[in-house]
Chains A and B, each alone.
Chain A
């Protein structure tokens, strides 16, 4: 019995040891890092600190979030040549350690919230989505910004915000909570039409909705794309404020703009929206749009229809590869033109579009960050916005990742695989803190680069046409109404209302035209009950307060 007891005890002790080993294994496993570690030790910087009194006496560590999009084949987003370059050129010279925190792009809110709950969030809290950013502020995660501190530690960045009149967007409840990265306008969102089909039918480019519908009917009747011709490819519309642009009154009364025009939630109960959906219903029942549009939430079906030559009209962000080149491989004789925005405009309307916000990334400072950390972060923004630093970050190393073109504009070298290779989309997730795209100083220069970046060879005119159209229509574009405080109902209900909009839109478009009005009444009521009424009520209250009533 004694011997057996001892044996059992020893076996148990071994087992316990093994389990502990597993746990210990975890603790000492700091992961197999790739590449060299940045020079983050407490050693003094390689250069003597500048005369500038802004260099910190004691080492400051800042944590900056960076999106992780899971693009295959690239180095880790939080530790690669460029993050180390930033540390070397900025951090070491100012006695600051810059740490990057990877945030999964597809689940960022949850990730930020977890970090906040654990007290571990980075010094910058950002989002592209305005209601989401306001939600962070309402949760208490964002500290107010001291404008004087911003002017001192990031003067250029501050000035850019002033020049583009962006600060007002971040001024909520009487304090400045957010600052913004600027956003040069991109002209690659466009609608294309098969010019060769128009030519075959001897029809001119449509300039208003009636003409456009006739063109589509001709496409349908002549089956120019084969037996399954789809005159206009259609997908589930993005449930956001871009909907029903062409049906809005012009000029639009301010109160309607404030209550019904919202980037995140479609105003189903608004008359312009009703008219737009009614037109779509007509088009569906006449067989002018993709019959399976409701199954196409990501647009891949619409794209497939277009690139196989079955679809006559297609709208999307144009890219150099993946759309036109595939179309040409299936239909070598295809010719394309820009479909003017006026083609979607009903009688009496104007080609209104929502003016892009002048800003891209919305940036706030973590309320748990110390003053030094905020200062250091501001210094990073200031450093990054300097033209020479930004240029290097956006283009890389001459001769390796880009070469200079004849016109003084850099041309990217696509498949450089050396150590200095750029991260996703030319390091975008690193410099998105200061700017949303590439800016070459002048409108012509920007347009030129966009033409070669977004369009395949021979189709650059599409971008140019779109640019000219934007310039011509600019006067009809509208900007969102700016509330001086966050609308909490929007953050709370937008997800469910977006889902409901897609559900109701589908029903309304696919129903019999005779049933439309009754169905519309019923669904509007449901929509209001699901939270839209609350949004309108809250907005109305704030609007009236702002107007001093």
Chain B
């Protein structure tokens, strides 16, 4: 029946390009190929976020008076509401985690080298957008922990030289974190960031389809030496492998959503004291911890300002990595990039755990 449907469409729309694409596209097979699936898993989780996010919109109310109650209503009254919310929260965390796995695997395999610089840049932009999703979505249940974490998080923007105060007011929609911040973050979370994601993700996927899979420099050397690298057809082989990985992700996600429900906490109260153990989502924790540890003044500059500038610089280096590491295109794997990656990984790992223990 699928064949008949395809023939019917083909007769009318001429799908020869698609037929050609499906028949011809292949993926190289080598010992590092498992990393190819990490982007696919991340994409799958984006799909989960879109689907569960739309469902949450059916009952969520973005106002300081009703947000907490509406989330409570979702998880207590709506059938399977607890499941949808748990999936959304857990999938968000897995998504950021998988995005990091995908990032570090492309970094260590030097997949960003010419001609794929723009794929890397769009990928790093997507990571920043995903962190924006995480930051804005964290506030939406309007609970105590999120309220104060948002106060601290938006306050950090105040450390940016010259435009800091403006940025704080812009982010908060006023001088304080209030209902105005909530509607602002809501708009960001359900309209602005999704629109940006559509464009940047579209580009990211288009580049990948256009250029095909990158092979690691070691495999490329063998290829240049005349060895034939085995290939597997994209359809159905690679697609089925991809789907298998999606099932693995789904199993992990379902297990987390079922056995480890996401807490709702108590409703935010601007006049309550900050609860002990206040902390942001884990992927901001390493940064948060550094800012906490910095002394008030370093060489006459405010510690926080220096910290924020440092992270800003890291973000720029990350974004422009393909243009900084020019040797990678000629097959020279820079030791600096390898060690930089290892140090970054170690830093995130150690400081995230440290942040948890210290909180």
**Bound pair (A, B):** no
B contact set with A: CB distance below 8 Å: none
A contact set with B: CB distance below 8 Å: none
